[in-house]
Homo-oligomer: A and B are copies of this chain.
Amino acid sequence: MGKGEQTRDAILEQALTLASQVGLEGLTIGRLAGALDLSKSGLFAHFRSKEALQVQTLERAAARFEEVVVRPALGAARGEPRLRALFENWLRWPRIVPQPGGCIFVAASVELDDRPGPARDRLVRLQRDWLDVLAGAVRIAIQEGHFHRKVDPDQFAFELYGIMLVCHHASRLLRDPAAPERARRGFEALLARARAARA
């Protein structure tokens, strides 16, 4: 890894941390440079546009997400255990990959939902992929006989992500320490329903 690549790496890591707090738009080149003891122009040269910086920050976040949320869960047994692992890893991930402002994808989702452009496009793809990962795990759980055949994997993923979002909301905005526990209760109810498959 050359010197430039190394610097770029440090920049993106810091960008990830910063963007979690102030968003992708609030992520300012000057502030980012200041935090890294770099000049604005020196930092800017690595990307050549703010948009590129934003996209690459998302890319970096996605890589880390894969690394600390998705991949480790593949070590868990197929089906419900893997789904549990995905859920628990998601709860942890804003602390493991330091995001003092909470999950960057949640922040970016709200920020970019009305701003067309490459960053938005990339984010949409990433969020779809994440929902697909969840739905895929559900599908496997059905195959394994953990869940009832009538369970709709996409619907399950939808509702599960809802629990994650409200957990984020309750713990970050409302500073409710009970949020993860509430989320777990919701998750367990979702699992119970999938086993029985009343709906």
Report A's interface with B, CB cutoff 8 A.
21-23, 25-26, 100-102, 106-107, 109-114, 120, 123-124, 127-128, 154-155, 158-159, 161-167, 169-170, 172-174, 182, 185-186, 188-189, 192-193, 198-199
Contacts and interface: CB of A to CB of B under 8 A. Distances in A.
Give the dominant DSSP class at A's interface.
Answer: helix
Given A159-B186, A185-B199, A110 B113 contact: no
Contacts of A127: 169, 173-174
Contact of A186 (B155, B172, B192): B155
A100 B114 contact: yes
A176 to B, nearest CB: 9
Given A193-B193, A198-B192, A172 B114 contact: yes
A169 B159 contact: no
Nearest to A114: B101
Contacts of A161: 166, 169
A165 B155 CA distance: 15
A145 to B, nearest CB: 21
